[in-house]
Amino acid sequence: MKSVVIIGGGLGGLFCGAMLAKEGFFVQVVEKNVTVGGGLQTFTRFGERFDTGMHTAVGMSHGGTVRRICDYLGITERMRLKDVDPLCSDRIFFADQQQWYEIGNGRKGFVDSLAAYFPEERENLTRYVDAVYEMTSHVDVLNLRPSDGGVSLFASSQDFLLPADAFIAKFTDNPTLQSLLAYLSPLYGGRKGCTPAYVHAILTMLYIEGASRFVGGSDRFAELLAGVIREHGGNILTGDGAAWVEVNDRHVDYVLTESNRKLQADYYISAIHPMALFQLMPEKAFPPAFVKRVTSIPNSYSAFCLFLKLKPGSFRYLNFSEYYLRGQGDIWCFDQPDRWPVGLMLMTPPEENQGDFASKAIITVPMLFSEVERWKDTRVGRRGDDYLQWKDGKATQVLELVEQMHPGFRSCIERMDTASPLTIRDHYGSWEGTLYGFSKDCNNIALSQLPVVTKIRNLFLSGQCCNLHGFCGVPLTAINTCEAILGVNHLVNKIGG
């Protein structure tokens, strides 16, 4: 039996562990938090359970990419998901127009919903959707299709490395419609002139195909993945993260945990941020040029979050997410701190036997780590009164925007908790609280991509800093990581076939 030690029990580490365990490996996962899941973790406040990060699951529709992976792992029937409203999967509010726009599911539904507002753009919308699907059809792993293992993802289409905003502009010059087509930008850390079109296209296609929500908490999905590892004889060590990775002659000899447990294996996978990994290793473990390159890659932005317990019967349950934008030109301005907040996302997570009214709401607002830089050396619960006052001020700003969408919303709030990029950094272990790993730049795509294979012979990388991020992207990267060990197309042939 081959063995593997996985550093990090987030989505990437759990998917790697579950797939390798199913393939006969003895898997050990080390996780510094007391629970696994990373962005799938939940917490309890005011008697309510809140998801911390991943609020929406994509790729879970019939025949969807992640669903097929879950079928292979044998966990699909145990998942508890609620599909969003197919006629209105998302709703966008432009404050400068005082106008709502609703987005429908499916290729036809997506086009029809936007053509209802822009009838003269129907043909352009159809061409745009066709182009999105054409682009994503070239990504072998996204389609669980065998590849030769040597063809670059980015050489597959001439539009792959266009800036996302330029790609959208090919189909319409209407500024409002351009912003609507890019409304998912804050879900991939979008930057004007930088974010590659393929990142935009993949997430857009997945949302067109339909999204789902976790019923009763996203941590249940993490436990299903952890259960696969345990069912096949593996171990998950929580509350005992990696403290040291011993490397000699480009070979990992062992991992030492915080409790001084020494773990040895044939292979090692790091599913944590590369910058965090560097701190656990000898200075010369990696070639200096590689370390310098990784250190120079900017991270995507983080977020400021509000977790709200709502008064009973005060606010209706929304089976879709709502997005706020100050104006049609602000969709690419989330990385400009002087304009914060330019937009937000509001959602009401579903409960078991969800009724007409919501019991809680989560509001997420993109935010740069520089906003909290002055408290970077502090830890949760020990940041000082000035930090608490700063958070209260930010929460007030955010609720002022929500009031524009839903007048009287403040009166629905019974209790409120907040989280900043520092909270995300400390609970997820993500460098600078980044939500999406390294920021992708189409002008220098080689800089913002990391291969899963490293110069250390038995060490591999996974997680959102490699290739793709998100609920669909991270499992696909996990396939790449596992196939670097198992062999090209080993898993794809089993899952896709």
- Tell me which range, 135-144, 149-158, 404-413, is most confidently predicted by mean pLDDT: 404-413
Give start and end residues of each alpha helix (H) in 212-295. Answer: 219-231, 274-278, 288-295
The pLDDT of residue 27 is 98
Mean pLDDT of 100-106: 97
pTM given for the model: 0.94
Question: Does one domain contain both 71 and 107?
Answer: no
The pLDDT of residue 186 is 93
Query: What band does 156 get if pLDDT is binned at 50, 70 and 90?
Result: low
The pLDDT of residue 381 is 81
**Does residue 465 register a pLDDT over 60?**
yes
Considering only residues 201 and 147, tell me which one the structure prediction assigns the higher pLDDT: 201
Question: How far is it, in rounded angstroms, from Cα 310 to Cα 312?
Answer: 6
Rg for the chain (alpha carbons), in Å? 22
Question: How far is it, in rounded angstroms, from Cα 215 to Cα 226?
Answer: 18
Q: Which residues contact 333 (CB under 8 A, 6 or more apart)?
A: 339, 342
Question: Does one domain contain both 93 and 179?
Answer: yes
Query: What band does 151 get if pLDDT is binned at 50, 70 and 90?
Result: very low
Nearest Cα to Cα of residue 299 among 184, 433, 197: 433
In a domain, 51, yes or no: no
Nearest Cα to Cα of residue 299 among 428, 377, 165, 189: 189
The pLDDT of residue 470 is 87
Question: Does one domain contain both 342 and 368?
Answer: yes
Domain boundary among 160, 179, 209: 209
CB-based contact 263:242 (threshold 8 Å): no
Question: Does one domain contain both 184 and 204?
Answer: yes
The pLDDT of residue 123 is 98
8-state DSSP, 83: E
For 113-148, write each residue's pLDDT tens digit: 999 999 999 999 999 999 999 999 988 889 999 987
Question: Does one domain contain both 290 and 308?
Answer: no
The pLDDT of residue 150 is 45
Considering only residues 1 and 359, tell me which one the structure prediction assigns the higher pLDDT: 359
In a domain, 440, yes or no: no
Query: What band does 497 get if pLDDT is binned at 50, 70 and 90?
Result: low
Question: Does one domain contain both 230 and 200?
Answer: no
In a domain, 200, yes or no: yes
In a domain, 50, yes or no: no
Domain boundary among 397, 414, 435: 435
Domain boundary among 416, 435, 454: 435
Domain extent for 379: 301-435
Mean pLDDT of 262-275: 96
**Does residue 152 register a pLDDT over 70?**
no
For the chain, counts of helices (H) and of strands (E): 14, 20
In a domain, 411, yes or no: yes
**Does residue 435 register a pLDDT over 60?**
yes
Mean pLDDT of 284-294: 92
Q: Which residues contact 429 (CB under 8 A, 6 or more apart)?
A: 8, 10, 32, 33, 38, 241, 272, 273, 276
Question: Does one domain contain both 23 and 128?
Answer: no
Residue labelled with tokens 């790729």: 59
User: Domain tally for the chain?
Assistant: 3
The pLDDT of residue 149 is 56
Give start and end residues of each alpha helix (H) in 299-420. Answer: 385-405
**Does residue 379 register a pLDDT over 50?**
yes
CATH number of the CATH domain containing 466: 3.50.50.60
Cα-flanking dihedrals φ and ψ of residue 282, to 5°? -60, 150
In a domain, 18, yes or no: yes
In a domain, 334, yes or no: yes
Question: Does one domain contain both 331 and 431?
Answer: yes
Question: Does one domain contain both 307 and 455?
Answer: no
- What average pLDDT is seen over the chain? 93
The pLDDT of residue 39 is 84
Query: What band does 444 get if pLDDT is binned at 50, 70 and 90?
Result: confident
In the sheet with 26-31, reading across from the earlier edge strand, the strands are 235-238, 26-31, 3-7, 267-270, 459-461
**Amino acid at position 231, single letter:** E
**Does residue 292 register a pLDDT over 70?**
yes
Query: What band does 153 get if pLDDT is binned at 50, 70 and 90?
Result: low
Question: Does one domain contain both 161 and 221?
Answer: no
Strand (E) positions, 114-266? 211-214, 235-238, 242-247, 252-257, 262-263
Question: Does one domain contain both 395 and 328?
Answer: yes
Question: Does one domain contain both 227 and 176?
Answer: no
Partnered with residue 101 across adjacent β-strands are 92
Distances (CA, A) of 297 to 232, 290, 437, 441: 38, 11, 10, 10
For 57-90, write each residue's pLDDT tens digit: 999 988 899 999 999 999 999 999 999 999 999 9
Cα-flanking dihedrals φ and ψ of residue 304, to 5°? -110, 130
Q: Which residues contact 450 (CB under 8 A, 6 or more apart)?
A: 274, 294, 438, 461, 465, 466
In a domain, 48, yes or no: no
- Centre a 10 Å sphere on the Cβ of residue 145 and count the other Cβ atoms it contains: 14
